[in-house]
């Protein structure tokens, strides 16, 4: 309708009388059709049920389970709920704000995946490219298979990979690359004894080290969480001729206005805005200490820090189909491919025991994709087509095209995330429910 209106307003009366009449008739037909088939009404959230989110996080902080958190629910491009809870550090008492900086950990992965899809869009990278084309350490890959010996002890036998690991495998976590805490005992032992994290390492060193390790499964056969996106970060660097941060800053962060999103905080002012876990959150504190100790490693799988204001810009761009404020970051075809399920029926991909997308979700390129209600009774809340991801530090975000809505939770807790994030998700969708 907007295009028709502009055409009518700018048409010269003498030269364009015929076109003007046709446009008016077309507008009338469009109006009659629109009145005959009104679009489905998108529900707005209930203020009373939004208040339950506030009550939940107030109680978490009062009980000493969290130092603080920030929460955003944004619909039709505008916040319908924005709250900052507690403090960013219990030792300083500095209040949480929308500009507080959080370690994203695995919520880095969707950003790195978008960066890779931008290169695919530009014709500089292909989903079918073997990783060994860029990182020779991945040539002649071997798969680790548990095998018996004459004395009854299990050993890791190496067998040739059926096919090369591809860029698509990295994007959808079907590479056979794992984490050192996921998988069979012999694979985990091989990782832990490899020196993968010894000394100083950047993306070049890390990718070369992990490329020499055995794959946990044959490529393309199993969704298994791991360092795939870290290796993808190195592929991006090679193809772009820049560091991962330089490429993402130029093509994603600066255009979106994500000024607080980076791998290393550069000033005392930035560091003072950093959220800290509770002193009792030992696993997360150790993970954070390790991340900060290796500033030279721009981990595409878990190294970014960001703020609510920043990540909301990224999430809104995803909600709007890979574009925001008139700038296109992904083509429609690339966006559709990225946000479609690539491990579902017919893909030949099995699901690991640790299947983090969860019940009712498939997986695209960097996002969990809601494909069905799931097997749980009652089914998990949400909408078919919804996208989401979270992290080991408790950060969580969702993109729901059906509700034209994004929702983000930023917190720093490993101890409580397994309980808080599903409770938060349910509270968000309860707020939009029309039958409660």
Write out pLDDT tens, residues 256-315: 999 999 999 999 999 999 999 999 999 999 999 999 999 999 999 999 999 999 999 999
Q: How far is CA 116 from the centre of its chain?
A: 13
* Per-residue pLDDT, 150: 55
The class that CATH gives domain 127-240 is mainly alpha
Low-confidence ranges of the chain (pLDDT < 50): 1-39
Spell out the domain ranges in the chain: 2-36, 47-114+242-432, 127-240
Tell me how far apart the alpha carbons of residues 268 and 247 are, in angstroms, rounded to a whole number: 25
Q: Which residues of 398-427 are buried (b: 16+ CB within 10 A; e: fewer)?
A: bbbbebebbbbbbbbbbbbbeebbeebbeb
pTM of the model: 0.90
* Per-residue pLDDT, 40: 66
Tell me how far apart the alpha carbons of residues 234 and 242 are, in angstroms, rounded to a whole number: 10
Please tell me the total number of residues recorded for the chain in this structure: 436
How is domain 47-114+242-432 classified at the CATH fold level? Answer: Beta-lactamase (3.40.710)
* Per-residue pLDDT, 436: 57
Number of alpha helices (DSSP H) and beta strands (DSSP E) in the chain: 15, 15
* 391 membership: H or E segment, kind and range: none
* Per-residue pLDDT, 146: 84
Whether the upstream peptide bond of residue 378 has omega within 30° of 0, thus cis, is yes
Fold matches, 47-114+242-432 and 127-240 = no
Tell me how far apart the alpha carbons of residues 139 and 28 are, in angstroms, rounded to a whole number: 63
Q: Please write down the HEC assignment for all residues of 243-259.
A: CHHHHHHHHHHHHHCCC
């Amino acid at each position: 309708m907007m295009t028709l209106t502009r055409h009518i307003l700018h048409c010269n009366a003498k030269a364009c009388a015929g076109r003007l009449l046709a446009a008016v008739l077309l507008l009338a037909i469009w109006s009659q059709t629109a009145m005959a088939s009104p679009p489905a009404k998108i529900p707005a959230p209930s203020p009373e049920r939004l208040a339950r989110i506030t009550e939940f996080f107030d109680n978490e902080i009062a009980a000493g389970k969290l130092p603080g958190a920030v929460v955003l629910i944004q619909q039709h491009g505008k916040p319908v709920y924005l709250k900052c809870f507690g403090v960013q550090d219990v030792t300083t008492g500095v209040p949480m704000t929308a500009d507080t900086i959080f370690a994203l950990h695995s919520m880095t992965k969707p950003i790195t995946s978008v960066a890779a899809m931008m290169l695919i869009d530009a014709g500089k990278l292909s989903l079918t490219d073997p990783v060994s084309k860029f990182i020779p350490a991945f040539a002649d890959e071997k798969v680790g298979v548990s095998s018996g010996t004459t004395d009854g002890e299990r050993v890791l036998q190496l067998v040739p990979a059926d096919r090369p690991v591809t860029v698509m495998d990295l994007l959808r976590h079907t590479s056979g690359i794992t984490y050192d805490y996921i998988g069979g005992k012999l694979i985990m032992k091989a990782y832990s004894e490899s020196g993968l994290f010894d000394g100083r390492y950047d993306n070049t060193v890390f990718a070369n080290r992990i490329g020499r390790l055995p794959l946990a499964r044959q490529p393309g056969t199993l969704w298994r969480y791991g360092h795939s996106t870290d290796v993808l970060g190195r592929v991006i660097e090679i193809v772009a001729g820049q560091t991962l941060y330089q490429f993402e800053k130029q093509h994603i962060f600066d255009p979106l206005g994500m000024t607080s999103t980076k791998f290393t905080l550069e000033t005392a002012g930035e560091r003072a805005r950093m959220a800290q876990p509770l002193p009792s959150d030992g696993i997360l504190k150790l993970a954070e200490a390790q991340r900060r100790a290796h500033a030279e490693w721009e981990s595409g799988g878990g190294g970014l820090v960001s703020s609510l204001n920043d990540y909301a810009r990224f999430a809104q761009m995803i909600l709007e189909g890979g574009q925001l404020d008139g700038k296109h970051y992904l083509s429609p075809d690339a966006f559709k491919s990225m946000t479609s399920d690539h491990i579902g029926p017919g893909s030949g991909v099995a699901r690991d025991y640790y299947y983090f997308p969860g019940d009712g979700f498939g997986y695209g390129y960097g996002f969990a994709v809601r494909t069905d209600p799931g097997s749980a009774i009652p089914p998990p809340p949400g909408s078919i087509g919804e996208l989401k991801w979270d992290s080991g530090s408790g950060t969580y975000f969702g993109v729901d095209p059906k509700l034209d809505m994004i929702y983000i939770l930023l917190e720093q807790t490993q101890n409580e995330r397994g309980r808080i994030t599903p409770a938060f998700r349910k509270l968000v969708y309860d707020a939009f429910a029309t039958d409660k």
